[in-house]
Structure 1
Amino acid sequence: GRNTDASDNGLRLRRRHGQNERGIALNRKNALFAGHDAGAENWATIASLVETCKLNAVDPLAYLTATLSAVVNGHKQSRVEELLPWNCLAR
């Protein structure tokens, strides 16, 4: 069939895995208010980090606090893999 929505008035995006889950749907809805393309991209990055933390049983606030503190305190860019959410538990 055609790529339209139920009212037949426009293109419909293909479904992605998990796109209708409540947490992701709320983030997508809130991202509409980012105000600028760069803001929307930054929002998407943070939302992705938060969801990745949740999937890896890492507290998002603790992760972001520790990671941003490490960056501010001079964490070497060559060791960025140490800052990934799934490596957070090892710290």
Structure 2
Amino acid sequence: MLSDLARSTNTAEAIRYAMTRWASLCRLLDAGTIEVGNNAAERSIRPIALGRKNWLCAGSDKGGERAAALLSLIEPATLNGLDPETYLCDVLTCTADHPINRVGALFSWRLAKEDN
């Protein structure tokens, strides 16, 4: 079938594309829960991509590291349906007295489960 089509036609290119990714396409059909696209991942990193130019003005490498640390707390809280400001206030006020071996209790996904 592919040999009957001119190599440069759009149809031939689409068929070649599908044939080189055949295993992935079959996996997609076998497991009905796999997303067809990566829109959810792209939406989740959009704030990072949009803020990238702003972070160039972090002032120093240490400022950039602090911004990254805060974002690693804020983004999971947002994804878990928590208000990031409230979450940060709660976590930062209790960390001084919180036992280090129970730090996992402060993860945003655990706190989100407790709220539900």
- Which residue number in structure 2 is paired with residue 53 of structure 1? 77
Q: 2:108 aligns with which of 78, 85, 90?
A: 85
Q: Which runs of 5+ in 2 are unaligned?
A: 1-40
- Counterpart CA distance in 1 for 2:45 and 2:68 is 16
Structure 2 Cα separation of the partners of residues 84 and 20 of structure 1: 20
TM-score by length of 1: 0.69
Q: Against the structure 1 CA distance between its residues 25 and 70, is the aligned structure 2 distance closer, same or farther, given a 3 Å change threshold?
A: same
Kindly provide the CA deviation profile for residues 10-51 of structure 1, in whole angstroms up to 9, marking residues without a partner as x.
xxxxxxx53862x22233222111111111011011112111
Percent identity over paired residues: 38
Q: Relative contact order: is structure 1 or structure 2 higher (C-alpha 8 Å, sep ≥ 6)?
A: 1
**Structure showing greater Rg:** 2
Alpha-carbon distance, 1:59 to partner: 0.8
Alignment RMSD (CA, Å): 2.0
Higher helix share: 2
Partner of residue 42, structure 1: 66
Do the aligned partners of 1:67 and 1:83 also contact (CA within 8 Å) in 2?
yes
Correspondence list, 1:1-91, <5 A:
18=42, 21=46, 23-72=47-96, 74-89=97-112, 90=114
